[in-house]
Amino acid sequence: MAGEYEAWTQEQLIARIHELEQQAGQTTSSNNGVSATNIAPVAAQDTPTSIPFRKPPKAPPKAFDASKYSSRLIALKFAYLGQKYNGFEHHKNNSTPLPTIEEELWKALVKTRLINPIPTTGDTADYNKADRKTFATWDREGADVNWDGCEYSKCGRTDRGVSAFGQVIGVRVRSNRPLPKQPAKEPESQENPPAAEDELDILDSEPDAATKHFNEVTDELPYIQLLNRVLPPDIRVYAWCPNPPENFSARFSCKERRYKYFFTNPCFAPVPGSAGTYHTPSSPMREGTLDIAAMQLACESLIGLHDFRNMCKIDASKQLTNFKRRIFYAGIEEVSPLSVPSYLSHGAIAPPDQPKMYAFVLHGSAFLWHQVRSIVAILFLIGQRLEPPSLVQQLLDIETNPTRPKYEMASDAPLVLWDCIFPHADEVQTSEERETGYQDRLQWVYVGDEGGVEPKSKTSPSLAGRGKWGRGRCY
């Protein structure tokens, strides 16, 4: 065929090319017709729009196996603002209009898988499979708090509206410490002599390197950050104790509780003019002004072991017969003002000296129901010179005043559980013997200390200083 084209002229070759192009065009059009008639209907049946997309079913949440982790007993110290809560203690099968602090703590510990409660009889909740849907139900409808198997204990049971800056609980939580390796069972063989078998037992009994070099503080889980990520913003954990003493109980190991009640002087703005002045047995007083010296004098009568039945609210359901409590310290202290820039020290723009902030400080071994608020109400009457400072001694004299007089308790908002003190076991004395306060002997790891924050990330420089998982530090 190629030899024939060599003899052709240029005009003949051009004509041959045109002929081949026409044949090629006819072949292409015929092929397109077949594709349109035969393939197009099939393609119309297979279009993605004709088949609805179905999302594959979500796999059920994987159950958390707590047996794969070790546990340890620790103490947690935290603060909270109590105005949005129905007190600290949660009562089972007793619905409240507001959540409790204890309920929020329990939900945070379960969400972070730090505790694994043992289901009680009739309890259908599976805490190992709790997911976001379960947590949302708890937040909406409340949770049935269950501390079984957690060695849980609480220190102070604050009432509704009362805040705390030094509340303490004890609880057994999940630990980062590796579990000891189980020795492998070797098949019985006559080849190993008894001496060799003894040597193998000694080697198996030695702890592995990971367990031996585990630091109980720096290598432990960041408990503070884990809990603060899921707790409400008005509840914050700020310290934990890695080594509480044996048989530790946050309730019974605490031998001193410290409260503070904050107020201002004047406690409220008086009516302008002479209408804001009233007469007292000693001298005229301006409305809202408190006699701090008289209140301080009355506080001295509180120190010691006394019967406080006239300065508390009696709960008839408990049938309490002993109302004696030991007070280590009672006094009125001025709260230091906040530091201000130096240029504000000029007399023309300096902040006013009034009103000043004060705190009624009370340290005691234990307290009765509403005891602190009742004492504050009496002190306010003395501060306004409506009652003499000797009123405290009169109310503590049960023989002369066997029944509680009628008076209104002070507000709950300014009351704060300031601190809880845990002394050494050999320092503990009974309330009848002990006359001075204790010192806290627990070794607390605070936020900012080594072991109090998450370790810095080693995998990415951009995450350095933002926590172990790059989610930031939550204090």
Catalytic residue annotation: 159
Q: Are strands 277-279 and 153-154 parallel, antiparallel or unpaired?
A: unpaired
Using alpha carbons, list the distances in angstroms from residue 171 to 24, 116, 168, 448: 87, 11, 10, 22
112 is written with which tokens?
A: 């972070």
3-state secondary structure of 358: strand
Q: Please, are residues 420 and 444 in contact by the beta-carbon 8 Å criterion?
A: no
Q: Please, are residues 110 and 104 in contact by the beta-carbon 8 Å criterion?
A: no
Q: Is 364 exposed, middle or buried (0-12, 13-18, 19+ CB in 10 A)?
A: buried
Torsions phi, psi for 379 (to 5 deg): -65, -35
Q: Please, are residues 82 and 106 in contact by the beta-carbon 8 Å criterion?
A: no
Among the listed residues 438, 377, 441, 368, the one whose alpha carbon sits nearest the alpha carbon of residue 409: 377
| Cα diameter, the chain | 146
List the beta strands (DSSP E) in 175-317: 235-241, 256-265, 277-279, 284-286, 304-307
Please give the Cα distance from 215 to 445 (Å, whole number). Answer: 13
Q: Please, are residues 438 and 429 in contact by the beta-carbon 8 Å criterion?
A: no
